[in-house]
Amino acid sequence: MPELPEVEVVRRGLAKWVTNKKIETVSVLHPRAIRNFPGTKKSFSSQLIGQKITAVNRRGKYMWLELSSGQAVVTHLGMSGQVLIQKPGQEPEKHLRIRFTFSNYKNEMHFVDQRTFGGMHIDELIQATENELIPRNVGHIARDPFDPAFDLAQAVEKLRAKKTEIKRALLDQTLVSGIGNIYADEALWRSSVHWATPTSRLTEAKAAQLLTHAKEVMSEALAQGGTSFDSLYVDVNGQSGYFERGLNAYGREDEPCDRCGRLLVRDSFMNRSSFRCPKCQPKPRTTK
DNA sequence: GTTACGACCTGCGAGC
DNA sequence: TGCTCGCAGGTCGTAA
């Protein structure tokens, strides 16, 4: 599933291949892929044709192509989205949703998405700070730990102020962005914290450690090209990452804990899974 | 205002 | 062999 490291791998690939390329055609093949765009498929295309891509940026799991018009094509990969650079004339992918061609680049850019949780829309860029433009609809997303302007102390304060369980807070993109289910479980394992621990019970030091571990594990994943469990996450060339081998908790039910040897367990959490070591990450006595 | 939870969606694997 | 059902999970809208 694409979380921050996976999105960053894709962003880097796109920045390399599509910066300064001029959009010639845009074909929307599935309406859900542009469900956050208020116009039609035709108006989506017509607004983009002739525009030059000037940069590719990211905040958390949101990525956007900056355009010469001052607008941006905002992209979220959802659970199964991919952005691929493909040679023209190749057999289209089964779940190809949007195809871009360029007037000054022979290859095509394909947005492919099996589960259609991802999508693209066109947005206006607004001034976030003196030197920073972000799409209007990304304004509510907090800075991620890789952002040079990320403020750890402020993030710790926001996290502890939230009256909820720690994992729910880690997944809240308005507090800290980029962390999804996999890296939340990994950060919690590294910090020996149970997912249901109330945020109010975390000391400042523990909350800071947790966010530091989240950044650490995502940095390691990024260095290995991201985490892949299947063909659903690949870079712009269709290559999978290797970080699955580096995971200590996620997806490792009934395997021994790398720290103490106890068998890891899987809990049901928010209609999804949470993996932990029952010895290193015991259930808190109270969840209030 | 804040928090919790269901819906969205498709492919795969398990179970019958 | 073929069918049904549960599971995967990020985001958003709605209910409490």
Whether A226 shows a pLDDT value over 80: the answer reads no
Residue A198: nearest nucleotide (C-alpha to C1'): B3
Distance in Å, residue A30 CA to nucleotide B2 C1': 36
Distance in Å, residue A118 CA to nucleotide C15 C1': 25
Residue-level pLDDT at A190? 94
Residue-level pLDDT at A239? 74
What strand order describes the sheet that includes A132-135?
A53-59, A62-67, A71-76, A119-129, A132-135
DSSP 8-state assignment for residue A230: S
Nucleotides, chain C, CB distance < 7 Å:
7-12
Residue-level pLDDT at A128? 84
What is the mean pLDDT of the segment spanning A209-213? 94
What is the mean pLDDT of the segment spanning A217-234? 75
Distance in Å, residue A273 CA to nucleotide B15 C1': 21
Residue nearest to nucleotide C10 (CA to C1'): A78
Most confident region among A30-39, A46-55, A253-262 by mean pLDDT: A46-55
Give the whole-angstrom CA distance, residue A224 versus residue A245: 10
What is the mean pLDDT of the segment spanning A217-239? 75
Q: What percent of chain A has pLDDT over 90?
A: 59
Task: Report the catalytic residues of A.
Answer: 2-3, 61, 272
Residues within a 7 A CB radius of strand B: A 32, 79, 94-95, 114-117, 162-165, 168, 270-271
Distance in Å, residue A105 CA to nucleotide B8 C1': 36
Whether A242 shows a pLDDT value over 70: the answer reads no
Task: Check residues A228 and A75 and name the one with the higher pLDDT.
Answer: A75
Which band of pLDDT confidence, cut at 50, 70 and 90, is reported for residue A79?
Answer: confident
Total Cβ atoms within 10 A of residue A286: 9
Q: Give, to the nearest 10 degrees, the angle between helix A204-223 and helix A4-18.
A: 40
Residue A141: nearest nucleotide (C-alpha to C1'): C11
The string of pLDDT tens digits covering residues A87-98 is 998 888 888 999
Please, what is the end-to-end C-alpha distance for chain A in angstroms? 31
Give the whole-angstrom CA distance, residue A227 versus residue A246: 9
The DSSP bridge pattern shows strands A96-102 and A119-129 to be unpaired
The answer, as to whether pTM is greater than 0.75, is yes
Which band of pLDDT confidence, cut at 50, 70 and 90, is reported for residue A243?
Answer: low
Which band of pLDDT confidence, cut at 50, 70 and 90, is reported for residue A252?
Answer: confident
Nucleotides, chain B, CB distance < 7 Å:
2-11
Task: Check residues A46 and A36 and name the one with the higher pLDDT.
Answer: A46
Residue A116: nearest nucleotide (C-alpha to C1'): B9
Distance in Å, residue A271 CA to nucleotide B6 C1': 10
Whether A134 shows a pLDDT value over 60: the answer reads yes
Residue-level pLDDT at A116? 86
Name the residue among A206, A209, A235, A205 with its Cα closest to residue A5. A235
The string of pLDDT tens digits covering residues A100-127 is 999 999 999 999 988 888 899 999 998 8
Residue-level pLDDT at A31? 86
Residue A138: nearest nucleotide (C-alpha to C1'): C11
